[in-house]
Chain A
Amino acid sequence: MAKMRKIVTDPLIDNNPVTWQVLGVCSALAVTTQVKTAIVMSLALTIVLCCSNVAISLLRKMIPNKIRMIVELCVIATLVILADQVLKAFMYDVSKQLSVFVGLIITNCIVMGRAEAYALQNPPLKSLLDGLGNGLGYSIVLILVAAIRELFGNGTFLGFQIFGDWFVGNTLMLLPPGAFVIIGLLIWLQRTFISKHLREED
């Protein structure tokens, strides 16, 4: 049980896919100008990641080794298109804001990476937990970055005004470089203070 829990909690902070492994940074830069889009993107990625991990794990004994990557890609692409279609049908506004980035989950290194590194060797339940953990790890970073960018760029949180009229939005926060700076700072914070023990082991 403790082992199972560790599969989920480990990628949240210590082995975070974005700040520790530096994967999936592209979308973390692109969709984090607003908390709302970041939450939807996080949900989409987490669901796709869980499903693809389970699907690959179920197929792991059948997939011929020679075409395993193309099969992984096929499964992931199918799931992403499904997610995109569902968003277009039920959350039209958000799907318009996310535009190409939902489609780009296909190329998100986290999804392919977890399929290759974990789901191919492990049973479905463990793969599901692994997908959940990594998805949540990605979500934490995405929502944190989005919260900072929206707050200092627009003075809002989830669209609600936080700062008064005196506040002048910082445009840098809304531009892609702003996300670079914040993610850089997060990585520094984590490596220097939070996950110090891991760094010393290296």
Chain B
Amino acid sequence: MSEQFKIIRFATIVCLICSILLAVVSSALSPRQEANKANDIKTKVLQVFGVTNELGKAVTGSAEIESIFSERITGLVLDAEGKVVAGKSVADLTPEEINAKDKATGLKQFYPLYIYTDPATSKKLYAMHVSGKGLWSTIKGYMALEDDLNTIFGMVFYENAETPGLGAEVEKPFFQDQFKGKKWLDSDGKVAEFKIIKPGGELNDHAVDGITAATMTGNGVEVFLNDDFTVYNKYFTQEGLRK
């Protein structure tokens, strides 16, 4: 047997064993990983609505998440035209569906709108799912609006694979907290373009400070926030929800 043949045989066996091992483990663990992801999405929705437990900490137990979610949160699923998609509910929208794109138009297929009713004041809050390209990866998040559908109540980015320490800082409180209180509409009631500006630039009601050394990530976030709001805004105006 020639040496080359031995080498090829050895390499083939090693590759086979490794790939079989990976395939088995991956398929065994994927239900758990999916459950984690789904739970994580609900956690983030609660987080963007500012829901905390008695201790003021984020809600983490999966049973607790389920109960709060079913009691206080309703919602509907919109398409890219801002029309309600019949037969879809936000609770059973999977992470894949939330990010699924229409092949023909390149737009997202589903735009979930979560509606939170405060049990004490029965005030409503609305959360939009926003996502799009950053520099390296797709950045995903939720933005909550107050019941005037204009003032931003909260912003949570829950997934990105941007440069750690630079673009990945979008998930840090110092960036997200800036969105609170910003507005989508200008004083004439028209939609203003939301900006993520370079640090030091002039801030106003429709702009937040970007992250140093992550301008490209900021540009991406800026584009998809505006695009996604446009879709949700179609629904808000069609339904006359804004008073």
Give which listed residue, B10, B14, B37, B165, contacts A75 with CB less than 8 A: B14
Question: Beta-carbon contacts of A84-122 to B below 8 Å, as 1s and 0s?
Answer: 011011101000000111000000000000000000000
Tell whether, in the assembled complex, residue B15 and residue A99 are in contact, meaning their CB atoms are under 8 Å apart. no
Residues 162-193 (chain B) with a chain A CB within 8 angstroms: 164-165, 168
A contacts with B, residue count (CB < 8 A): 25
- A144 contacts chain B at the CB level, 8 A cutoff: no
Give which listed residue, A75, A85, A99, contacts B18 with CB less than 8 A: A75
Q: Interface-forming stretch among A15-23, A62-70, A130-138, A147-155?
A: A62-70
Instruction: Write the nearest CB–CB distance from A176 to chain B, whole angstroms.
Output: 6
- B26 contacts chain A at the CB level, 8 A cutoff: yes
State the main secondary structure of chain B at its contact with A: helix
Contacts of A101 in B (CB 8 A): 164
Residue among A30, A66, A89, A175 with the highest chain B CB neighbour number at 10 A: A89
- A82 contacts chain B at the CB level, 8 A cutoff: yes
State the main secondary structure of chain A at its contact with B: helix
- A78 contacts chain B at the CB level, 8 A cutoff: yes
Residues 1-50 (chain B) with a chain A CB within 8 angstroms: 3, 6-7, 10-11, 14-15, 18, 21-22, 25-26, 29, 32-33, 36-37, 40
- B residues apposed to A, CB below 8 Å: 3, 6-7, 10-11, 14-15, 18, 21-22, 25-26, 29, 32-33, 36-37, 40, 161, 164-165, 168
A64-B10, A67-B11 are known; give 20 further A-B pairs, CB within 8 A. Answer: A30-B165, A64-B3, A64-B6, A67-B7, A67-B10, A71-B10, A75-B18, A77-B18, A78-B22, A85-B26, A85-B29, A85-B33, A86-B25, A92-B33, A92-B36, A99-B161, A99-B164, A99-B168, A100-B164, A176-B165
